[in-house]
């Protein structure tokens, strides 16, 4: 079980949101909330029907739920083919009277190999649910640490890079275009770091920040790699206080550079 299976499953939620929610320039309509109580990713509310689509880590399943979090329909992903998932969503779409017809959309430049109708999710076993529990705990711990340390306005999970992220806008121009910002969050393993990791990074439209690697960032490490300028902390047996200190110190240090 890798994060890849969850990343792929999240594309069902993103595709559904793309069909029923008003389009936003920054793709905000396609992102999710992480619910630490139910260990699940949740779309924005589908406004007309007051329901959401959910990817449950705890059950390795897809749900449609109402505003009271009552499950309306559900589908177990374990051992299921992509074609079977699509067939279930299409049936549920009609049963729930959602507008239009469901269409699965595989985004361009998604950092995953495109799947076909025969792609099959792993069968449920003890190892799978153990990994799901680990991934859920990572998202919950990182989200709580961010809230405690930097009190972000909004934390969302993005379907493209599958990161839990919060954006602090530092400056915009008169047209509302972003000029400077700080991003914080949890990212899954990628070309930058070979383990899931927390990050705090800065960005200026005008160019490089002028990173000072002597500034504190808890037990994290400063990196200046291409598009990324910031601090990272691998999620290897993390403790809540360690994560909080990382976000607190790295965010304050980054802000002092602007």
Q: What is the pLDDT of residues 190-237, one digit of tens each?
A: 999 999 999 999 999 988 899 999 999 999 999 999 889 999 999 998
Final residue in a domain of this structure, among 81, 105, 124: 124
**H helices then E strands: how many in the chain?**
4, 11
What percent of the chain is helix, strand and coil (3-state, nearest 5)?
30, 30, 45
Both 184 and 105 in a single domain?
no
Mutual orientation of helices 126-150 and 3-20 as an angle, nearest 10°? 60
Question: How many Å apart are CA 255 and CA 258, to the nearest integer?
Answer: 6
Q: Are residues 152 and 83 in the same domain?
A: no
Q: Which domain holds residue 84?
A: 3-124
Q: Is the dihedral of CA 97, 103, 104, 109 positive or negative?
A: negative
Evaluate whether 201 touches 228 at the Cβ level (below 8 Å): yes
Note whether 131 and 120 are same-domain residues: no
116 in the same domain as 156? no
Considering the domain architecture, whether residues 233 and 163 belong to the same structural domain is answered as yes
Structure tokens given for 2: 């890798």
**Gap between the Cα atoms of 10 and 15, Å rounded:** 9
Domain boundary residue, one of 102, 124, 146: 124
Same structural domain for residues 170 and 104?
A: no
How many distinct structural domains can be found in the chain? 2
pLDDT of the residue at 179: 93
Same domain, 110 and 209: no
Give the C-alpha distances (Å, rounded to integers) separating 121 from 2, 6, 139, 140: 11, 9, 21, 24
| In a shared domain, residues 142 and 120 | no
Let me know whether 152 and 70 are in one domain.
Answer: no
pLDDT surpassing 80 at residue 25: no
Q: Does 183 lie in the same domain as 85?
A: no
Amino acid 1: pLDDT: 58
pLDDT digits (tens, 9 = 90+) for 65-122: 998 989 999 999 999 999 999 999 999 999 999 988 899 999 888 889 999 999 999 9
User: Could you tell me if 197 and 251 lie in one domain?
Assistant: yes
- pLDDT above 80 for 47: no
């Amino acid at each position: 079980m890798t994060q890849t299976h969850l990343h792929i499953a999240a594309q069902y939620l993103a595709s559904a949101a793309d069909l029923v929610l008003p389009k936003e320039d920054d793709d905000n309509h396609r992102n999710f909330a992480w619910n630490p109580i139910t260990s699940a990713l949740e779309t924005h509310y589908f406004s007309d029907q007051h329901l959401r689509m959910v990817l449950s880590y705890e059950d390795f399943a897809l749900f449609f739920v109402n505003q009271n979090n009552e499950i309306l329909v559900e589908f177990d992903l374990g051992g299921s083919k992509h074609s079977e998932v699509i067939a279930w969503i299409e049936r549920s779409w009609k049963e729930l009277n959602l507008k239009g017809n469901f269409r699965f959309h595989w985004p361009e430049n998604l950092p995953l190999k495109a799947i076909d109708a025969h792609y099959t999710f792993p069968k449920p076993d003890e190892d799978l649910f153990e990994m799901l529990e680990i991934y859920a705990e990572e998202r919950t711990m990182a989200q709580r640490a961010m809230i405690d340390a930097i009190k972000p306005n909004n934390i969302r999970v993005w379907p493209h890079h599958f990161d839990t992220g919060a954006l602090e806008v530092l400056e915009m121009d008169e047209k509302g275009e972003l000029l400077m910002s700080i991003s914080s969050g949890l990212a899954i393993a990628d070309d930058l770091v070979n383990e899931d990791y927390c990050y705090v990074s800065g960005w200026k439209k005008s160019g490089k920040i002028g990173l000072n690697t002597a500034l504190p960032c808890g037990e994290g490490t400063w990196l200046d790699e291409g598009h990324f300028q910031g601090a990272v902390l691998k999620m290897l047996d993390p403790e809540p206080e360690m994560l909080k200190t990382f976000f607190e110190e790295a965010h304050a240090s980054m802000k002092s550079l602007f």
